[in-house]
C-alpha cells in the first residue's frame, strides 16, 4: 500500500546516506591531510577515528539486519516455514500468466485467497496450515508479484486484477467458492463484485475482506490530508521515476534490507506481537517485489473506487485492525455498514499485517464464516 511504499522510500534514503557517509569517512581517512614538518617535509596525517567510524557504518550498511531485527520484533515460538508448495501456471486477463497453488481434496469447500501489495502466496502460510484440513485452499500471485507475469502495464490495475481473479475462480472448477482478500486483494474482490455482479453471485458463496478500503487508500490511511496533498506533486512522480530506474531501485531496496532500515519501514504495518520471522519475511517479500510493478499498482489504486454500498448478493465478513495505520478501521467500518448482509469483526490490537501477526484470530474467524456459508451452499465440483 502507498503508506508502506513511502516509508520504505524514506528509510531507503537513510540507509543509502549511512552507506555514503561510511564511504566518505573511509576515503577521507585514506586521503588524510598533507602537513609540513619543521624541516619542510610533507607528511600525510590520518585521523584513525574516521577509519573506524567508516568501517562501523559500512558494517551496519550490510550487516545491520542482524542487530535491528531482534530490537524490532519478538522471538519466534512457531516453527512455521514461509515456503511455496507445488504450483501451476494458468492464463489470465490482459495476457497475464498466473501462478496458483492448491491444497486439499477436490471434494472439500473451496477458499480462494488473494494477497495484497508487495507480497506473494507465502503470505497465506498460516491460513493454509490452519484451514487446510477442512477446506481446499487456492492461493495465487497477483501479476507482477511472485511468479505471476503481467503482459502489460494494464495488467497491474484493479480492474485487471479482478479479471484475473475471475480466471482463478474458473480454474477452481467448483460450483461455489468463498473469496478471501487482504488489502489490495480485498479491493480486487470488491471490483469483481462491482464489474461482473451476475458472474460473482453465480460462483461466489461468501466474501471475507481483511484490512482494506473502498477508495483511494491515501484517503483512509493515517495523515491522509498530507498524503493527498502529496499525491500529485510527489507520490505519483516518484512512482513513475521508480519504474524508469527499476534496477537501481531494486539494488537500493536490497541494501536497505541488509542494513535493517527496510525492516524499520515494514515495522509500521505491525503491532506489538510481531515476531522476527514474520517481520523479516514481510520485509523480504517487499524487497523481492519488482519496484515497477509495486509503484504502477500504487498509481492505479489512487484512481480506484470500490463497491461502497448495495448488495453483493452473498454474505460478507469484514475484518479490520483496531490500530491499522494503512487502512484505518473507519474504512472497514464504512464497508461493513454500507454493504447489505455484511458484518464487521474488529481485532483490537491488529495493525495492517494482522493476518500474519494475529493469524490465529483471523483464520478462526474465516473458518467459522466459511463453515456457516457452506452449510447452506452446494460445494460440488464441476
For the chain, the domains span 1-13+90-382
Distances (CA, A) of 122 to 141, 242, 348, 349: 9, 25, 25, 23
How many residues does this entry show for the chain?
382
For residue 45, what pLDDT is reported?
A: 84
d(CA 342, CA 189): 14
C-alpha cell at 114: 488473494
Q: Give tens-digit pLDDT for 199-252.
A: 999 999 999 999 999 999 999 999 999 999 999 999 999 999 999 999 999 999
Report the CATH architecture of 1-13+90-382. 3-Layer(aba) Sandwich (3.40)
C-alpha cell at 141: 500471485
For residue 307, what pLDDT is reported?
A: 65
Long-range contacts of 358-366 (CB under 8 A, 24+ apart): 358/271, 358/273, 359/126, 359/127, 359/130, 360/126, 360/130, 362/127, 362/210, 362/319, 363/126, 363/127, 363/130, 363/131, 364/130, 365/208, 365/317, 365/319, 366/111, 366/127, 366/131, 366/180, 366/208, 366/317
Cβ-in-10-Å burial (0-12, 13-18, 19+) of 116 comes to: buried
d(CA 261, CA 57): 13
C-alpha cell at 303: 484512481
C-alpha cell at 234: 510527489
Q: Identify the DSSP state of 119.
A: -
For residue 382, what pLDDT is reported?
A: 47
* pLDDT less than 50: residues of the chain: 381-382
Cβ-in-10-Å burial (0-12, 13-18, 19+) of 380 comes to: exposed
Amino acid at each position: 500500500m502507498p503508506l508502506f511504499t513511502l516509508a520504505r522510500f524514506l528509510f531507503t534514503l537513510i540507509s543509502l546516506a549511512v552507506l555514503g557517509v561510511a564511504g566518505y569517512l573511509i576515503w577521507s581517512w585514506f586521503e588524510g591531510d598533507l602537513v609540513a614538518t619543521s624541516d619542510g617535509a610533507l607528511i600525510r596525517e590520518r585521523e584513525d577515528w574516521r577509519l573506524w567510524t567508516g568501517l562501523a557504518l559500512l558494517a551496519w550498511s550490510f550487516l545491520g539486519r542482524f542487530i535491528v531485527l531482534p530490537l524490532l520484533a519478538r522471538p519466534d515460538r512457531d516453527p512455521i516455514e514461509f515456503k511455496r508448495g507445488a504450483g501451476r501456471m494458468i492464463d489470465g486477463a490482459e495476457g497475464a500468466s498466473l501462478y496458483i497453488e492448491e491444497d486439499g481434496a477436490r471434494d472439500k469447500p473451496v477458499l480462494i485467497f488473494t494477497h495484497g501489495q508487495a507480497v506473494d502466496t507465502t503470505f497465506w502460510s498460516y491460513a493454509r496450515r490452519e484451514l487446510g484440513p477442512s477446506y481446499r485452499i487456492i492461493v495465487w500471485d497477483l501479476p507482477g508479484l511472485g511468479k505471476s507475469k503481467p503482459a502489460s502495464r494494464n495488467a497491474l490495475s484493479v480492474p485487471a486484477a479482478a479479471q484475473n481473479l475471475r480466471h482463478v475462480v474458473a480454474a477452481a472448477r467448483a460450483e461455489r467458492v468463498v473469496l478471501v482478500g487482504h488489502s489490495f486483494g480485498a479491493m480486487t474482490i470488491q471490483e469483481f463484485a462491482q464489474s461482473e455482479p451476475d458472474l460473482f453471485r453465480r460462483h461466489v458463496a461468501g466474501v471475507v475482506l481483511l484490512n482494506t478500503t473502498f477508495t483511494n487508500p491515501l484517503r483512509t490511511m493515517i495523515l491522509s490530508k498530507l498524503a493527498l496533498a502529496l499525491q500529485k506533486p510527489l507520490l505519483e512522480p516518484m512512482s513513475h521515476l521508480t519504474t524508469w530506474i527499476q534496477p537501481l531501485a531494486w539494488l537500493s531496496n536490497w541494501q536497505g534490507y541488509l542494513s535493517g532500515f527496510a525492516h524499520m519501514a515494514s515495522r509500521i504495518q505491525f503491532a506489538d506481537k510481531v515476531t522476527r520471522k514474520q517481520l523479516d519475511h514481510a520485509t523480504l517479500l517487499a524487497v523481492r517485489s519488482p519496484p515497477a510493478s509495486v509503484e504502477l499498482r500504487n498509481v492505479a489504486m489512487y484512481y480506484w473506487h470500490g463497491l461502497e454500498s448495495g448488495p453483493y448478493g452473498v454474505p460478507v465478513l469484514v475484518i479490520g485492525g483496531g490500530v491499522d495505520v494503512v487502512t484505518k478501521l473507519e474504512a472497514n467500518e464504512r464497508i461493513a455498514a454500507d454493504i447489505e448482509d455484511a458484518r464487521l469483526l474488529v481485532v483490537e490490537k491488529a495493525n495492517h499485517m494482522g493476518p500474519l501477526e494475529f493469524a490465529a484470530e483471523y483464520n478462526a474467524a474465516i473458518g467459522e464464516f466459511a463453515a456457516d456459508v457452506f452449510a447452506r451452499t452446494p460445494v460440488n465440483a464441476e
